[in-house]
Chains A and B, each alone.
Chain A
Amino acid sequence: MSLLKISALTVSGVTLWLAPPFVFSRKIPLHNFLQGVALVSSFACAFEARRCALKVAKAEEFEAMKEAAVAADVVDEIATSAYVSEQQRRNEAELLIASDSNRELLERALALSSEDEEAENVQLAQNADNELRERILQLQARGYGKAKIILEIWGVAKGGSPKYKTAEAQYKSLIEGEERETER
């Protein structure tokens, strides 16, 4: 509406400025007087159009600023709510950890998981023993003696070294375990 008003005022200002000098004669006093009146009215129209245009421009600027402020507010609100919910979640988690019953539950869960790990370790050790035993049996089948088998598997040559003694003890225990299993 305002833009229409501005356009109408501008167009009428231009018309009232340009038309009378070329339509009316300056030699006829009434025409000359009308030219003056038209010029004054065209000036008034242009002045009003300028005033309205400046007013609308200012209002548009204000609207743009308002929109920018609203957008900034929304972004701020979202950021705040995200921060608040994160804090709330953290507090809830801390409360859960702090309560005794839950602590017990967590400790129990931890104990259970460590028991599982222990059983797993035993299983792994047994698997390793079985592999060693298998290898010893293979070497025995090839006709290898005890010293050669120890050298092959543990990498220790025969002698009085503590490493050899440890390897020998392990060899013996594996062989004994194998014998026990065959007896069963």
Chain B
Amino acid sequence: MTKAIALGNNFLLTAIASSFLCWLASLHPSLLLFVQALFALKFIISATAWLLDDAIIVILGIDLLQLRFRLIGGTIGALVGVGVMLCRS
């Protein structure tokens, strides 16, 4: 039960962080560029990690399923955070 709550909070942290970045991006055009670059970097890193999963699991010491779960969870969390900020009034 508590482990599930911790995992849910991990997802929440990713979503809130990406919402915060979106909020920062809305403050200034140069910050928007910076945040776009950050998101691009995040997705590039995720894609690379997905491709190089065998090497990553050895480095991180986790199994393949956990790595994929983290990558998918992180990506969905970031998208949800961006979506929330895009839908705001």
Contacts and interface: CB of A to CB of B under 8 A. Distances in A.
Interface residues of A, number: 28
A50 B20 contact: no
Interface stretch (B9-17, B34-42, B51-59): B9-17
A1 B85 CA distance: 34
B84 A43 contact: no
Interface residues on B, range: 20 to 34
B23 interface: yes
Contact of A53 (B3, B17, B23): B3
Contacts of A92: none
Given A21-B88, A46-B12, A35 B2 contact: no
Contacts of B8: 10
A82 B59 CA distance: 51
B89 A17 contact: no
Contacts of B6: 50, 53-54, 57
A49 B19 contact: no
B84 A17 contact: yes
Contact of A18 (B23, B26, B84, B89): B84
B5 interface: yes
A31 B1 CA distance: 37
Given A21-B84, A54-B6, A26 B89 contact: yes
Can you list the 7 inter-chain pairs with the closest CB atoms, starting with the nearest?
Answer: A21-B88, A50-B9, A53-B6, A57-B2, A53-B5, A56-B2, A46-B12
Interface of B: 1-3, 5-6, 8-10, 12-13, 15-17, 19-20, 23-24, 26-27, 84-85, 87-89
Interface of A: 3, 6-7, 10, 13-14, 17-18, 21-22, 25-26, 32, 35-36, 39-40, 42-43, 46-47, 49-50, 53-54, 56-57, 60
